[in-house]
Amino acid sequence: MAPTNVDTDADIRDGQAAAVAIIAGSGPMPARVAEAAERAGRPVIVFGIAGVADPAIERFPHAWLKWGQVGRLFKLIEAHNATELVMIGAIDKRPDFREISLDFGAVGSLPEILSLIVGGDDKVLSGIVKFTEKRGLKVVGAHQIAPELVAPIGPLGQRAPQAGETRDIALAVDAVATLGRLDIGQAAVSVDGRVIAVEGAEGTDAMLDRVAGLRSAGRVRWRGRAGVLAKCPKPQQDLRVDMPAIGVRTVEKVAAAGLAGIAVEAGRVLVGDRAATVAAADAAGIFIVGVDPAVQAEP
């Protein structure tokens, strides 16, 4: 069936059930959330950020938006009777001012918009939520629309962590909690009882590339597979708009770095394309486990 472009001024609210609007960044998650909403009988409208979102969103009712088209976004949301908004998918970098095309709606809200792009990620995202909800939309998390995407507690694949690996999990999870309180990052790597890397502004993938480079250069050493990547939300993180996620690429980076597994906070981290992600981990002999962050390593 041909894609449905909803970029129209027509008002279709009469007789139409309240829709879920999805603002889509990169990666497979926006399509997964749209699928879950449709399975639940909810109409969906997906707004892809041009140059960022995956073209896979075009199999749903959709429109493409440039940075700064705020008025157009809210006009289309209202026209299609959307009452809830999900923001999902990665934004690898904040837009350059030269990439922003302000429409009339954006110009009218310019002082408020400019205040949103100053500060750390948590401040920016909380500001976006307030800006959106002032305009009558309820911001909901991807996990509220598609709870099956969230990591459960316990092993997800064939392999479970062993005793030494459990110690590394507790250490890495504690490191992430410390980072998170400072709004720095969501991931850390621990090997043989030592934290060897923490995530900064570069993101999880680049941090794992750094671990692989350190090992290749002999700066860190271990035999076979050892250590763990822990990924958890920051303590103050608003999971409606910024829930951490792992996927096949995470598994590939962990394997390339020589690590033994991945630990995520159960109920608070998304697993993109779970079947493919778990299959990739099983093939590489890597564990993926959902943990309670309160768990402590045995003495």
| Between 292 and 119, the higher pLDDT residue | 292
* Residue 141 tokens, joined: 């998390």
Q: How many residues does the chain have?
A: 299
pLDDT grade for 92, boundaries at 50, 70 and 90: low
Pair 137, 82: CB distance under 8 Å: yes
Of 150, 138, 69, 52, nearest in space to 106 by CA = 69
Pair 86, 140: CB distance under 8 Å: yes
- Output the CATH code of domain 150-291: 3.40.140.80
pLDDT grade for 99, boundaries at 50, 70 and 90: low
Pair 229, 250: CB distance under 8 Å: yes
Position 193, amino acid? G
d(CA 199, CA 216): 19
d(CA 204, CA 177): 15
| Between 258 and 110, the higher pLDDT residue | 258
In which residue are the tokens 């041909």 written?
Answer: 2
Pair 204, 176: CB distance under 8 Å: no
Q: Kindly report, residue by residue over 192-239, the tens digit of the pLDDT.
A: 999 999 998 888 999 999 999 999 999 999 999 999 999 999 887 888
Write the CB contacts of 245 (distance below 8 Å, at least 6 apart in sequence). 27, 29, 269, 270, 271, 272
- The pTM for the full model equals 0.78
d(CA 279, CA 282): 5
d(CA 176, CA 171): 9
- Across the range 130-136, mean pLDDT stands at 68
Q: How many helices (H) and strands (E) does the chain have?
A: 10, 13
CATH 1.20.1440.230 fits 19-145, yes or no: no
Q: What are phi and psi of 22, to 5 degrees?
A: -125, 120
Parse the chain into domains and list their residue ranges: 19-145, 150-291
Q: Kindly report, residue by residue over 46-82, the tens digit of the pLDDT.
A: 999 888 889 999 999 999 988 777 778 888 888 888 8
> Which H or E run contains 281?
helix 274-284
Region of poorest pLDDT, from 6-10, 134-138, 236-240: 6-10
d(CA 155, CA 243): 20
% of the chain at pLDDT higher than 90: 46
